[in-house]
Amino acid sequence: MKIFHLAAALLLIVTANAQKSFKIKGDVSKVQSDVKLVRLQYSVDGTLIKDSAIVKNGKYEFKGELTEPKLGYFSLQYVVDSLNKKLRSGRDNFSVFLENGEISITSTDSFSNRTVKGSKAHEQYDHFKAAEKAFDPQMKELYNEYSAATDKSVKEAIEKRIDSLDEVMREQVYFSFIKNNPSSPMAVYALNTYAGYMMDPVKVEPLYNMLSAELKSTYGGKDFLEKLEGAKRLRVGMTATDFTQNDTLGKPVSLSSFKGKYVLVDFWASWCGPCRRENPNVVAMFNKYKDKNFTVLGVALEREGANENWMKAIHKDGLTWTHVSDFKYFSNAVAKLYGINAIPRNFLMDPNGKIIATDLRGEDLANKLAEVIQ
């Protein structure tokens, strides 16, 4: 695609920015609704930053410091009743790739319909999104076919076509960029997007190795390497790396203590809708095989202070197996060890502790257990 053969001056973003801070000047004076407050969220070296700015005369400002370009998420509050000045959250939002320097954001008829100037990282981000959008018509057609299909085998065939198209998109948009721009700070973002939530280390590691030494030394580069190493630990045929975490009573539980059994290590959380919808299937499999050398170990990615919600979900869903959590959300030590970026995720171990399958749900879980447990 032509966008990946632009001049180096356009594609490459200088990491050693002369300025060590950013300043955002926003203009919402043309937005039809009366905007009162703008919120901004972004992360710096893994720490989530939440900020807000009062809108005065249609203008707002943010200031901060970044160690590398990061995606910022903007949302707003607006005045509903000009007399009572009651505020409610608006759904109007957008993302901007931030970097140090002065950035201007001008909204037109709506908050999210905006133009961004001053961020080369955002220029490249817009190129990515435009390249992705070229695949929308084909993807929409496939999703329409999937919705109309009633036969299970037909749906499964369409799913494979969707996955194949997504693979083509990621290869053309993100793989190509990384290969041609291994020193660009946006290469780390591209690599994360290319890898996806269920990273294939065999495909991804060669791309990571292409990155410049400078990029590998950044927080983003180091964070990606940690995810990559975790994904390598989840490969079928690998012996599962041992871990220890506290159960619902605060007592430490080790994965190795289950050696001698088939174990499904299930990453989930009380707040995760897809996880909760899958729980009845896991319960059915647990009840069917619990007396045949099989058990489940639940690893919950709960937020700090969510002990009560965790316990309620366990009891409500009838999850009568062992559960652990450290209440650090996606920074859960076990999740980081195994490179877990999304849930539900799981892996199945044999009695020797070797991983024999990953990401089993629905009939796939039932079929695999029927195959290995006599």
- Domain limits, the chain: 19-118, 134-233, 244-372
pLDDT score for 14: 41
pLDDT of residue 82: 46
Q: How confident is the model at residue 265 (pLDDT cuts 50, 70, 90)?
A: very high
For residue 89, the one-letter residue type is: S
Q: What is the mean pLDDT of residues 21-26?
A: 96
Judged against a pLDDT cut of 90, whether residue 128 lies above it is answered with: yes
Residue 371 and residue 37: Cα distance in Å, rounded?
57
Distance CA 245, CA 333 (A): 8
Binned at pLDDT 50, 70 and 90, residue 12 comes out as very low
pLDDT band at 19, cuts 50/70/90?
Answer: low
On the question of pLDDT at 5 being above 70, the answer is no
DSSP 8-state secondary structure symbol assigned to residue 56: B
pLDDT value, residue 7: 35
pLDDT band at residue 32, thresholds of 50, 70 and 90?
Answer: confident
Q: What share of the chain in percent tops pLDDT 90?
A: 76
pLDDT, position 79: 66
- State which CATH number among 1.10.10, 2.60.40, 1.10.3470, 1.10.3210 fits the domain covering 19-118: 2.60.40
- Please give the average per-residue pLDDT across 122-140, as a whole number: 93
pLDDT in tens, 319-333: 999 999 999 999 999
Average pLDDT, the chain: 89
Is the pLDDT score of 335 beyond 50? Answer: yes
Q: With 50 as the cut, is the pLDDT of residue 89 above it?
A: no
Lowest mean pLDDT among 45-49, 82-86, 270-274: 82-86
CATH 3.40.30.10 fits 244-372, yes or no: yes
DSSP class of 244: E
pLDDT at residue 3 greater than cutoff 70: no
Residue 165's Cβ-count burial label (10 Å; 0-12, 13-18, 19+) is middle
pTM above 0.95, yes or no: no
Question: What's residue 2's pLDDT?
Answer: 35
Inter-residue contact 101 to 17 (CB < 8 Å): yes
**Local structure of residue 174 (DSSP, 8 states):** I
pLDDT tens-digit map of 203-227 = 999 999 999 999 999 999 999 999 9
What pLDDT was estimated at residue 156? 82
Largest CA distance in the chain: 72
Asked if 79 contacts 86 with a C-beta cutoff of 8 angstroms, the reply is: yes
